[in-house]
Chains A and B, each alone.
Chain A
Amino acid sequence: MSTEALVQFLDVQKIYPNGTAALAGVSFSIRAGEIHAICGENGAGKSTLMKILFGLEQPSAGVLRIGGKEASLRSTRDAAMAGIGMVHQHFSLVPSLTVAENISLGFEPTVGGVFFNRRAAHAFAEDLSVRYRLQIDPRATAASLSIAMKQKAEILKALARNVRLLILDEPTAVLTPAEAGELFDHLRQLKAAGVTILFISHKLKEVRAIADHITVLRAGKVSGSAPLCSLADAEVTRLAMGKLVPSVSRHADRAIGAAALQVEAVSRAARRSASRITDITLAVAQGEIVGVAGVDGAGQEGLVEVLTGDAVPDKGRVLLGGEQIGGLPKARLRALGVSHLPADRYKTGGASALSLTENAMALARRSPRLSIGQYLKSKACEVLAREMIEAYDVRCTSPRQPLGSLSGGNAQKLIAAREFSVKPRLLIAEEPTRGIDVLAASTIHGRMVDLARSGTAVLLFTSDLDELLTLSDRIVVMHDGRIVAQFISSPDLTTEEIGRAMLGLETSHA
């Protein structure tokens, strides 16, 4: 590995027009040929840093050096010229085009300067795929690819123009553990092929698995930058958070009461395979947290849809406290005490254009505290929002600012506050901490455990197996729309055991 610095940030600052200082003087360097990880809480400045490096934002002050020379990246085109490619968290492939067409988008080979030369595009894509040893069918349309394949196509697209530095923004957020492992193998191959990689993540485990060097950002500043082997995990966390994260665990105290939710032989034949469930039988007691694991699309969505009133089961019964709730409309379920923390926090979890208050009051709107008949008490609504903001440590300037102006973690905390504060009998939590920082996740975990302690039955759907193991009293594993395994949570239970069941390799009942 050469020790020459490929990219150097020298006291780079970024202050947005609204006065937010996203970067308050950042200096560090990325050496050629290394895998360099950038860690930090949400809002620590990781995204801004990447945008500056990819030419999407210009620094307010400071110097950026690429290959020893001062560089001014005014657009993504400049960044591409400087040999910088980026794979965004959200994919930007055109679904109807083939992989090859997507890869050559923007510099399409032509015949006679006019017509698209498909053959040359395919040859180019194939060549690229061989050179970087990322196997993919260049003729497949993007829409037909699995998520992991789409990501491969994105990486190839980013590599297409002689890239020296490849930026990956939270690449594993959408992948299953097995797919993530495969991605890491690919990244190591790229490193061997001479590509420098900048890897953004807040999963320390992944960083540990792959990175050579780590830079930790906190509140717009570098709080540490060192070879990874010289830092212990606790040290990295301390650098990122500025304090130790309280650990939340479930195993110690359980007070499980009478059965709250009973799902009896429920089936639903849906056109979408992810919504299809077969013969699901499951019970959650008061005060119990039951975790549901499964690879993406194994039927978890279908189960959630049936439980939250989005779909009517074809067969079987769903009971809450002995009362049949299968097929009831959402408004009715809400009134019966069913809370749902949805996976997509902006699509269904909240209204980004409305204020924090208007988002916070949505469930309690009928309570006598907030309304008399039709009349809404604006003051009381704002007080409620303030209480939630305080109790869940939501970082914001005012309860009147729109939800969309918060960082993901803070928005999720507010949404969780809303769903938890109605003291539900049943909580369905989907990916409660996906894509948010450790501290925010810890707040949500803590409140969820409190809720269970007060007697709520919790059904937790998550792809984060560590989260599953820490919080659940019992774990059921879904595969192909069925429950294929159940585990009683214990400190000896490992992610590997659950992982095997997720792939449908094991149908034991421990």
Chain B
Amino acid sequence: MRKALYKRGARLCLILLVIAVVLWPVVASLDDPRGAFFTFVLGPFNDMRHFGNVLEATIPLLFTGLAVVIMFKAGAFNLGAEGAFFLGGVVATAVLLKLPLAGPLLPVVAIVAGGVIGASVCVVPAWLKASVGASELVCSLMLNYAALFIGLYIVNYHLRDPNAGAMLSYRIPLDGKLPRILAGTRVHLGLVIGLLGCALGAVYLYKTRWGYESRLVGSNPLFARHVGVRTVLVGLIAPCVGGFIAAAGGAVEIEGMYSRFSWTDLPGLGWNGLVVAILANNNPAFVPVAAVFLAYLEVGGDLLAQNFAVPAEVVGVIKALIILFSTMSIAVGNPRIKQLLVRVMPGARKLNTEVEP
């Protein structure tokens, strides 16, 4: 137990070191290097509005991160969370605009509908894998773009407000919005839903039989089959659950943060969910921590770009490098990530070190 704690501490120190090293060359070239550095590192916490921004950006990552964890734990290397998130947002918008329903039930119905339909982006590749043995990884990756264009079609031809100028949907009714929960910020009820989801996710994986069976499949599918787990079924359930969570996240994001649907491209929050899952070491209990960390980088970077003569692209590179290095430091110690690497590039098998008897 204690050893694990040390390990986590060491990881955190490593990540902080990475931030310092990556940030230094950029910041040092500015007139006020100290100020720039502290804006990036402490800016997100120095007033309520910025802290609110961190929490706002955390919300979608809670959903997509959890979704990826649930699927990866079951050995489903499914990258459909991105498309599911997007499609979930589109379907929720459609429900909010078209369903003749008022009152607090409306956003709930929209989340469920978005979740169910959006989940298809994760479920279809899993079903193709189960029925014809197609690669879940490749199918889900490609299906994201199908989801994007289906979504754009729906928005453009059925939800678009012709008077809005850009490609925007009609205004979402006020009944369909999630209530704000923190004064002076845009933090909405989605935060509570997301945290609850992570807690439920942890209970599901570690305290229920289905969760246990899915971890058996994820850890050694042959063994799971050997002890009578219906592996094909588990391989379908995990993407259903994961896809639903990611798509519900998209719906929550629209209801909480937008007055009109305005995405014209994949928002990238599903990909960030992968990063969150890796940073959280595939444990739902750590998903909130990892999501806050990623959101914090996002906000810190924005503040740096707004207040100093640093181009947004450079800030993007900084964020990317920090994510890359901190993810790597964790991925190297994670057998599941190695397994994924081995599948994608057989040469990575060398990474697998045997346990000393």
Contacts and interface: CB of A to CB of B under 8 A. Distances in A.
Interface residues of A, number: 39
B212 A376 contact: yes
B355 A402 contact: yes
B228 A333 contact: yes
Given A354-B219, A358-B212, A374-B210, A47 B226 contact: no
B135 interface: no
A190 B194 CA distance: 69
A407 B210 contact: no
A406 B355 CA distance: 9
Given A354-B219, A376-B208, A335 B356 contact: no
B164 to A, nearest CB: 47
A363 interface: yes
Interface string A404-432: 11111000000000000000000000000
B223 A378 contact: no
A351 B219 contact: yes
Interface string A369-383: 001001110100000
A48 to B, nearest CB: 9
Contacts of A335: 228
B109 interface: no
Interface string A238-257: 00000000000000000000
A347 B223 CA distance: 7
A477 B209 CA distance: 41
Interface string A326-349: 000111011100001010000111
A161 interface: no
Contacts of B219: 351, 353-354
A371 B228 CA distance: 16
A361 B335 CA distance: 22
A407 B357 CA distance: 5
Contacts, number: 79
Contacts of A329: 230
A408 B228 contact: no
A43 B357 contact: yes
Nearest to A330: B228
A349 B226 contact: yes
Contacts of B225: 330, 348
Contact of A351 (B223, B228, B355, B356): B223
What size tier do the contact residues of chain B reach? 20 to 34
Counting chain A CB atoms within 10 Å of each CB, the highest count among B335, B355, B357 belongs to: B357
A230 B357 CA distance: 32
Given A334-B228, A340-B226, A378-B207, A16 B212 contact: no
A382 to B, nearest CB: 13
Interface string B185-224: 0000000000000000000001111101101100110111
A405 B228 contact: no
Nearest to A22: B356
Nearest to A363: B227
B5 to A, nearest CB: 15
B229 A347 contact: no
Contact of A330 (B207, B213, B215, B226): B226
B357 A354 contact: no
B230 A331 contact: yes
A336 B215 CA distance: 24
Contact of A348 (B206, B226, B356): B226
B322 to A, nearest CB: 29
Contacts of A404: 355
Contacts of A363: 227-228
A406 B229 CA distance: 24
A434 interface: no
A351 B336 CA distance: 13
Interface string A183-217: 00000000000000000000000000000000000
Counting chain B CB atoms within 10 Å of each CB, the highest count among A16, A333, A404 belongs to: A404
B206 to A, nearest CB: 8
A281 interface: no
A18 B228 CA distance: 36
Given A331-B228, A366-B209, A376-B207, A349 B223 contact: yes
B208 A352 contact: no
A362 B216 contact: yes
A181 B353 CA distance: 35
A350 interface: yes
Contacts of B230: 329, 331
A164 interface: no
Contacts of A340: 226
B227 A334 contact: yes
B91 to A, nearest CB: 29
A361 B223 CA distance: 13
Interface string B337-357: 000000000000000000111
Nearest to B335: A353
A333 B229 CA distance: 11
B207 A348 contact: no
Contacts of B226: 330, 340, 342, 348-349
Contact of B222 (A47, A348, A358): A348
Interface string A391-411: 000000000001011111000
A348 B223 contact: yes
A103 B335 CA distance: 33
A474 interface: no
A374 B209 contact: yes
Contact of B216 (A330, A352, A354, A366): A354
A331 B220 CA distance: 16
A375 B208 contact: yes
Nearest to B213: A365
Nearest to A405: B355
A207 to B, nearest CB: 21
Nearest to B339: A353
A333 B215 CA distance: 22
Contacts of B222: 347-348
B226 to A, nearest CB: 5
Contacts of B223: 347-351, 362
B227 to A, nearest CB: 4
A3 to B, nearest CB: 35
Counting chain A CB atoms within 10 Å of each CB, the highest count among B207, B216, B222, B227 belongs to: B227
A47 B354 CA distance: 14
Nearest to B356: A16
A457 B224 CA distance: 24
Counting chain A CB atoms within 10 Å of each CB, the highest count among B207, B215, B223 belongs to: B223
9 contacts: A330-B226, A331-B228, A351-B224, A353-B219, A358-B212, A358-B215, A365-B212, A371-B209, A376-B212
Interface of B: 206-210, 212-213, 215-216, 219-220, 222-230, 335, 355-357
Interface of A: 16, 18, 20, 42-43, 47, 329-331, 333-335, 340, 342, 347-354, 358, 361-363, 365-366, 371, 374-376, 378, 402, 404-408
Given A350-B223, A375-B207, 18 more contacts: A18-B356, A42-B357, A331-B229, A333-B228, A340-B226, A342-B226, A347-B220, A347-B222, A348-B222, A349-B226, A351-B219, A353-B220, A358-B215, A362-B223, A365-B209, A366-B209, A378-B206, A405-B356
